[in-house]
A and B are shown apart, each in its own frame.
Chain A
Amino acid sequence: MALTGRAFRYAYENRENEPFVFQSILARGRVFARMSPDDKALLVDSLQTVFKINCGMCGDGANDCGALKTASVGISLSEAEASIAAPFTAKVQDISCVVTMLKEGKCALVTAFQAFKFIFMYSMIEMIASALLYPMGSLLADGMYFYIDMVALIPLSIFQTWTGAYDKLTKDMPTSRLYSYPVFLSVGACTAI
């Protein structure tokens, strides 16, 4: 579906009376031509509120500022001053940056969860050891604690986050929330073992 800015504006203003038409435009629309800066921002905002999704927006030039700011992921394609409104700025002037963005984003999310899970497991391992020993009046020696914290923890916890993003963009999605049951299951299973 392709439509002009005026048609979109008309559908937007009548969205209360004709919600099906408006939502069909949002779902099926591929080309939106001759959009004013306000229309662009309205389109991004409608997509986000109606479908409850995160919407990305790529744009160059000052008339994209509003939409770039409204979008969850705004990528500015120019180095102009107007591009400050966007959270991300691409130096390459084409939309290949979107693929990089998705790859890096997925990698960053997975890495953050991994770091969280590892720090949690580190404290669980040490806590279980101390909890077993303490009731019988025994403790880990100072040297043991020193070794665990300095040799085992510091290099691993720093360097594990240095892994780069995968070369190809895949359809798979990483676990998107920290308080989801795969994360709890994985941490729980490792604690039990």
Chain B
Amino acid sequence: MAVQLFFFFDVRKQPFYVPLDPSKIDFGNYNDTSLSYEATAIFMIGTFQFVVTCVAFSLAKPFRQPIYRNVCFLLGIIVTTSCDTAILFLPISSPVSQWFKLLPFVNETTGETYYSYHYWLALGVVVNSILTYGAEFVIVKVVASKHEAKMRRLKYAQFREQMEELKANQ
């Protein structure tokens, strides 16, 4: 959410940004007036988030084989990441981007193209990936395993207590 929110507001500060015309907004109905720069930026970020969360959730070393042993999954990740990268870096004039109805990062008054914004979005993707993977790594390796060990210790202590009590009553 944080990364999407960041780019939602960041894209508004860019020189090529054109806000939606409020008089043409038709809430809930999809048409060409619903296309916005916010949608373009969030879509480019969001497609990567699917792959990143999927890879992050796949780490479970002591219980499952690593990802590279699962060939289909690996191929799926590679294909999806390649498609995402293509969407992110292809110039907006390309047919692919036209089909997705992405808006060009071009200032309409000066005609200047801001291709560097693609790199800025890519940096956002990298930061997002590191954060997601790092958080999941810490939670699974540290928090979850500690939690499980604690639960087992509690159960064992309970058992010991039960036995001591019985012994004392004898």
A residues near B (Cβ < 8 Å) are 19-20, 23-24, 27, 51, 103, 106-107, 109-111, 114, 117-118, 121-122, 124-126, 128-129, 132-134, 136-144, 147-148, 151-153, 155-160, 162-167, 170, 172-176, 180-182, 185-186, 189-193
Contacts and interface: CB of A to CB of B under 8 A. Distances in A.
Contact of A174 (B5, B34, B60, B152): B60
B81 to A, nearest CB: 10
B165 to A, nearest CB: 9
Interface in B48-106: 49-51, 53-54, 56-58, 60-65, 67, 69-70, 72-73, 75-77, 79-80, 83-84, 87, 99-101
Given A126-B46, A159-B72, A190 B135 contact: yes
Contacts of B4: 125, 128-129, 132
B164 to A, nearest CB: 10
Given A143-B99, A192-B1, A172 B62 contact: yes
B136 A137 contact: no
A166 B101 contact: no
Contact of B70 (A124, A126, A164, A185): A164
B126 interface: no
Contacts of B131: 193
Contacts, number: 208
A165 B36 contact: no
Given A107-B63, A139-B39, A186-B144, 8 more contacts: A103-B63, A110-B60, A114-B58, A137-B20, A138-B20, A147-B83, A151-B80, A182-B147
Determine which residue in B27, B34, B67 has the highest number of CB atoms from chain A within 10 A of its CB, and name it: B34
Q: Which of under 10, 10 to 19, 20 to 34, or 35 or more describes the interface residues of B?
A: 35 or more
A24 B50 CA distance: 52
A189 B99 contact: no
Contacts of A20: 163, 166-167, 169-170
A124 B57 CA distance: 15
Nearest to B131: A193
Given A51-B159, A132-B4, A174-B60, A121 B30 contact: no
B64 A166 contact: yes
A147 B47 contact: yes
A192 B39 contact: no
B139 A186 contact: yes
17 contacts: A20-B166, A20-B169, A24-B163, A114-B58, A117-B57, A125-B4, A137-B26, A138-B36, A138-B39, A139-B30, A141-B35, A143-B99, A152-B84, A162-B72, A166-B64, A182-B147, A193-B3
